[in-house]
């Protein structure tokens, strides 16, 4: 029996590698910019953790909360510090904190986590204060920051633990906060601190189950509401799922909301939310995997709140996968689920395990969790304390909706392999064609900002910019759309950068092909410049975002051939620098396409001809070939006329192991320079060749092997399965994007030993349709180690009777 699980693991690993290889093309940024010179940086000696930020256009400052310090920086130039206050913990507090087992220099300090506007001059500020959160008032007047020094209890408003994610929001004079209310961090709450009606969430595990809060914001839904609805505060977090009856803890992403006018219940849910409802947020990769986990959210507000959109970034819940995704959700879809969707309820099952299924019984009126609206008012219910017990008991016991929220486009807007995404902001940009595009700025865990758009389903990362000096996570990201500036904070510094730097593109073709909605080529000034949507000079501007059409650009100067003299027996290096990471070099020699082989080595910087002979003389052309939208764009970057014999001998030294060659470096600025460079003798490394997502022989081999594995496995399973398994039916709901139940759902049998997972059928699923068994192989490598324990982790679905 032990053979089976082992085989399962091996095969799964192989499939994992194979799938990974197929998705190498995920999110390659078109341009990479390292440490641009238009960055402004702020850091202060011995101050760290610049991860709380508030933009105050009205005061002309950016407020930064760091460890034991708050700064007011000039919003136009954050390198200019206007004022700051130091807010350390007292020695007594720090000692207290260390007695409780926390580290003095790490946890027992005061990390500023909250900055909220109270009025024009007053700011509410909270810090972790040595695991004993405290809040206070801060004023900014006459260019000076001043701490009032009237500390208030911060429990529930600010986390104890500086490493814990949390979220808060000031609405009028009410502070909404989502954090843990105790020292151990084991009692999560969503709290409203208010002088009139303070409310909190219930401590039941199915309200909040080890949550990680990432975001909250208010949506003014009472505006023009035909049914007399209320404004709502939305929360986004991840937590342990109750709806999956699974062998390990599965985390899911959630959206929850409460009504602004909620006053709590009278007997049931006294001083607790009567309007707390939550639903799962789905964001699935094309390949099967455990649910992705939300890391950050940006609410793109629209004047008509019904058109507001939540943009979320999601990362895998285990370290084995490295694909992050961006999904967008419309407020209307979320509302529909809360307002009309079915509820989940706890099923009565024999096993001690909790099981949640769709509730099919009668739902009381007024609808549980609904805000006080016209329906309620008609029934004489003017506020939540007048709600009937039936409604309140229902929502207390069933806050989870049955339906999950699917992304607007049915799938992620962006997929990105490599360093995980950490923070997101989105700008709304009006392009030359008067269309509005949403440009995403996404921070990564290694200090980059990715600037991305989605043009009608096509994912494009316009550029990635290295903004932080060291490869540390972007811990906070803020956008000032009016100033066109981005602000990012990390543990070691704060940076400011413009949303675009069109001047980086020097030619019309480069400018147009960048497909950056902020930029267009100005034919009169011959510069790539910012688009000002309302300016009248737009007739001289060239921009083509979805097509990348350069036909309106003036014809570029023809590329001149550069002479090159070869020396038989030596290597020749012909440089050709492409203008895009997405382009491929296409080399021609006397009208004949060159393929990489043991003579020609094509690498990102050019062509290497090994052991040149006289027959290599002739004309070499390097074209840059790039897929732009639906078409292929090609342009000549360099031309070389390679000649024999050498007039003056150009080459020379050969030392064992290294060949010194001399070559002409022809760059696109038409300057001819001569350099000497070291070239390793055997650069034909296979891994260098597949940078653009081509699947190597190795990977194909692994893929075939895994298929073989599957077949073998299928056969074994067939024999085994005939005897032992109670089989299951695979319910495949292929929504095609519109389906109510997205793929990647888990199903389970009554019988714990044949617990399974339903996967998206296209990737890696092999259905052996032999009338007896079908195998749905769990390709996702996410938890193959977690379930070695028994056969229940094998990931089969088998059906004897149905197929």
Residues in contact with ligand NAG by CB under 6 A are 48-49, 77, 79-80, 111, 118-122, 137, 162-163, 380, 382, 386, 491-492, 569, 611, 613
Instruction: Please report how close the Cβ of residue 703 comes to ligand NAG at its closest, in angstroms.
Output: 34
Token pair of 331 as six digits: 């407020």
SS3 44: coil
Closest distance of CB 378 from ligand NAG, Å: 10
Residue 661: how many other CB atoms lie within 10 Å: 22
| Cβ neighbours of 495 (radius 10 Å) | 24
Residue 367 is classified by DSSP as P
Q: Which two tokens stand for residue 57?
A: 């256009």
Distance CA 759, CA 747 (A): 10
Distance in Å, CB of 62 to ligand NAG, minimum: 13
* Shortest distance, position 386 Cβ to ligand NAG, whole Å: 6
Strands (E), 194-285: 199-200, 212-219, 232-240, 251-259, 277-281
Question: Which CB, 120 or 677, lies closer to ligand NAG?
Answer: 120
For ligand NAG, which is the closer residue by CB, 148 or 694? 148
- CA geometry: angle 175, 178, 179, nearest 5 deg: 120
List beta partners, residue 175: 170, 193
Q: Give whichever of 386 and 692 is closer to ligand NAG, judged by the CB atom.
A: 386
3-state per-residue secondary structure call for 717-781:
HHHHHHHHCCCCCCCCCCCCCCCCCCCCCCCCCCCHHHCCCCCCCCCCCECCCCCCCCECCCCCC
CB closer to ligand NAG, 67 vs 396: 67
CB of residue 497 to ligand NAG, shortest distance in Å: 12
The first and second tokens of residue 756, run together, are 């399974």
Nearer to ligand NAG, 77 or 409 (CB): 77
Both tokens of 55, joined, read 């933009």
Query: How near is the Cβ of 613 to ligand NAG at its closest, in Å?
Result: 4
**Residue with Cβ nearer ligand NAG (613 or 688):** 613
Q: How far is the CB of 163 from ligand NAG (least distance, A)?
A: 5
The torsion angles phi and psi of 393, rounded to 5 degrees, stand at -65, -35
User: What span, in angstroms and rounded, lies between the C-alpha atoms of 606 and 600?
Assistant: 10
Which of 670, 633, 675 lies closest to 506 in space, CA to CA? 670
Give the residue with the Cβ less far from ligand NAG, 80 or 537.
Answer: 80
Residue 150 or 539: which CB sits closer to ligand NAG?
150
Nearest approach, Cβ of residue 383 and ligand NAG (Å): 8
Pair 513, 624: CB distance under 8 Å: no
Least distance from ligand NAG to the Cβ atom of residue 211, Å: 19
Query: Could you tell me the smallest distance in angstroms from the CB atom of residue 117 to ligand NAG?
Result: 10
Q: Kindly write down the DSSP assignment for every residue of 282-294, as one continuous string.
A: ----SS--SPPEE
Cβ proximity to ligand NAG, 17 vs 118, nearer residue: 118
Residues 6+ apart with CB under 8 A from 616: 566, 572, 589, 609, 642
CB of 418 to ligand NAG, least distance (A): 22
Identify the bridge partners of residue 64 per DSSP, sorted by sequence position: 53, 71
- Spatial distance between the Cα atoms of 109 and 98, rounded to a whole number of angstroms: 10
**H or E, element range at 458:** strand 458-466
For ligand NAG, the closer CB: 569 or 693: 569
- Nearest residue (CB) to ligand NAG, 128 versus 514: 128
Beta bridge partners of 398: none
Q: Are 679 and 608 in contact (CB under 8 A)?
A: yes
Q: Which is nearer to ligand NAG, 118 or 747 (CB)?
A: 118
Smallest distance, ligand NAG to C-beta of residue 443, A: 15
Toward ligand NAG, which CB reaches closer, 87 or 111?
A: 111
Round to whole Å and give the CA distance between 282 and 426: 20
Q: Which residue has the tokens 């891994």?
A: 687
Cβ 148 to ligand NAG shortest distance, Å: 9
CA–CA separation, 572 and 565 (whole Å): 9
Nearer to ligand NAG, 120 or 458 (CB): 120
Q: Which helix (H) or strand (E) segment is 327 a member of?
A: strand 323-330
CB of 267 to ligand NAG, least distance (A): 16
Cα angle for residues 511, 516, 518 (degrees, 5° grid): 100
Q: Cβ 313 to ligand NAG, closest distance in Å? A: 19
Instruction: Report in angstroms how near the CB of residue 102 gets to ligand NAG at its nearest.
Output: 12
Coil vs helix vs strand at 659: strand
Shorter beta-carbon distance to ligand NAG: residue 116 or 416: 116
Task: To the nearest 10°, report the CA torsion of 602, 606, 607, 611.
Answer: -120
E strands along 129-226, which residues? 134-141, 144-147, 152-153, 167-171, 174-180, 188-193, 199-200, 212-219
CB of 236 vs ligand NAG, minimal distance in Å: 21
Nearer to ligand NAG, 111 or 518 (CB): 111
Q: Report whether 65 contacts 44 (CB < 8 A).
A: no
Tell me how far, at minimum, the Cβ of 472 lies from ligand NAG, in Å: 7
Measured from the CB atom, the residue of 491 and 800 that comes closer to ligand NAG is 491
In whole angstroms, give the CA distance from residue 168 to residue 65. 14
Task: Give the sign of the dihedral formed by CA 521, CA 522, CA 526, CA 528.
Answer: negative
Q: Give the strands of the sheet with 458-466, arranged side by side.
A: 32-34, 458-466, 448-455, 436-444, 421-430
Q: Which is nearer to ligand NAG, 214 or 583 (CB)?
A: 214
The beta strand positions in 499-630, using DSSP E, are 519-522, 527-530, 541-542, 561-565, 572-575, 584-589, 592-593, 600-603, 606-609, 618-628
* Of 102, 75, 231, nearest in space to 160 by CA: 102
Q: What is the 3-class SS of 6-22, one letter each residue?
A: HHHHHHHHHHHHHHHHH
């Amino acid at each position: 029996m032990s053979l089976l699980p082992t085989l399962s693991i091996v095969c799964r690993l192989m499939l994992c590698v194979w799938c990974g290889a197929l998705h190498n093309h995920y999110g390659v940024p078109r341009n990479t910019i390292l440490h641009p010179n238009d960055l402004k940086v702020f850091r202060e000696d011995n101050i760290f953790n610049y991860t709380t930020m508030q933009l105050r256009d009205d005061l002309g400052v950016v407020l930064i909360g760091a460890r034991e310090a708050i700064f007011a920086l000039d919003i136009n130039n954050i390198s200019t510090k206007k004022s700051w206050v130091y807010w350390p913990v007292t020695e007594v507090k720090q000692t207290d904190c260390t007695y409780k087992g926390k580290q003095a220099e790490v946890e027992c300090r005061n990390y500023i986590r909250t900055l909220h506007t109270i009025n024009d001059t007053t700011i509410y500020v909270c810090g972790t204060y040595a695991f004993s959160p405290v809040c206070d008032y801060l004023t900014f007047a006459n260019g000076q920051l001043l701490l009032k020094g009237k500390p208030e209890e911060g429990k529930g408003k600010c986390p104890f633990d500086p490493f814990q994610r949390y979220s808060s929001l000031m609405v009028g004079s009410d502070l909404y906060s989502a954090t843990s209310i105790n020292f151990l961090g084991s009692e999560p709450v969503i709290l409203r601190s208010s002088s009139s009606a303070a409310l909190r969430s219930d401590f039941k595990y199915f309200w909040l189950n080890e949550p990680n809060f990432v975001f909250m914001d208010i949506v003014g839904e009472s505006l023009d509401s035909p049914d007399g609805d209320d404004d709502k505060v939305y929360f986004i977090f991840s937590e342990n799922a109750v709806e999956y009856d699974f062998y390990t803890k599965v985390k899911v992403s959630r959206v929850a909301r409460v009504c602004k006018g909620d006053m709590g219940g009278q007997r049931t849910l006294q001083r607790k939310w009567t309007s707390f409802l939550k639903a799962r947020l789905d964001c699935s990769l094309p390949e099967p995997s455990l649910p992705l986990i939300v890391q950050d959210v940006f609410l793109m507000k629209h004047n008509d709140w019904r058109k507001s959109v939540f943009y979320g970034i999601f990362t895998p819940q285990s370290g084995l996968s490295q694909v992050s995704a961006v999904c967008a959700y419309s407020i209307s879809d979320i509302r529909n689920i809360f307002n009309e969707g079915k509820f989940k309820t706890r099923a009565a099952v024999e096993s001690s395990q909790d099981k949640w299924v769709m509730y099919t019984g009668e739902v009381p009126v007024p609808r549980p969790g609904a805000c006080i609206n016209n329906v309620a008012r008609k029934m004489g219910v003017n506020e939540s304390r007048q709600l009937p017990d039936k409604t309140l008991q229902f929502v207390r016991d069933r806050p989870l909706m049955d339906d999950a929220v699917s992304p607007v486009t049915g799938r992620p807007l962006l997929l990105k392999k490599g360093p995980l995404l950490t923070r997101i902001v989105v700008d709304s940009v009006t392009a030359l064609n008067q269309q509005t595009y949403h440009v995403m700025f996404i921070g990564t865990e290694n200090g980059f900002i990715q600037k991305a758009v989605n043009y009608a389903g096509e994912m494009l990362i316009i550029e990635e910019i290295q903004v932080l000096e060291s490869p540390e996570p972007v811990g906070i990201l803020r956008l000032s759309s009016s100033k066109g500036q981005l602000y990012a904070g990390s543990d070691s510094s704060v940076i400011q950068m413009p949303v675009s730097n069109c001047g980086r593109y020097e030619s019309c073709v480069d400018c147009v092909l960048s497909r950056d909605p902020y930029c267009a080529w100005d034919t009169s000034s011959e510069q790539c410049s910012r688009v000002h949507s309302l300016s009248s000079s737009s007739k001289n501007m060239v921009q083509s975002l979805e097509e990348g059409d350069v036909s309106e650009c003036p014809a570029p100067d023809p590329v001149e051939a550069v002479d090159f003299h070869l020396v038989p027996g030596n290597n020749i290096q012909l440089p050709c620098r492409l203008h895009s990471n997405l382009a491929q070099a296409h080399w021609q020699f006397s009208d004949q396409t060159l393929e990489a082989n043991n003579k020609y080595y094509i690498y990102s910087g050019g062509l290497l001809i090994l052991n040149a002979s006289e027959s290599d003389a002739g004309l070499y052309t390097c074209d840059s070939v790039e897929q732009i939208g639906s078409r292929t764009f090609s342009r000549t970057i360099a031309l070389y006329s390679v000649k024999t014999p050498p007039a003056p001998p150009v080459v020379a030294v050969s030392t064992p192991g290294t060949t010194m060659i001399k070559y002409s470096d022809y760059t696109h600025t038409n300057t001819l320079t001569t350099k000497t460079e070291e070239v390793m003798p055997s650069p034909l490394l296979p891994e260098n060749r597949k940078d653009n997502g081509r699947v190597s022989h190795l990977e194909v081999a692994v893929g075939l092997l895994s298929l073989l594995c599957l077949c073998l496995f299928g056969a074994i399973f067939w024999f085994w399965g005939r005897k032992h398994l109670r089989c299951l039916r695979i319910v495949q709901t292929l929504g095609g994007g519109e389906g109510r139940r997205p793929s990647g759902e888990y199903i389970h049998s009554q019988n714990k030993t044949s617990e399974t997972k339903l996967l998206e059928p296209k990737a890696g699923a092999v259905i052996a349709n032999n009338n007896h068994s079908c195998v749905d192989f769990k390709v996702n490598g996410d938890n193959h180690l977690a379930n070695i324990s028994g056969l229940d982790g094998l990931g089969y679905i088998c059906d004897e009777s149905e197929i």
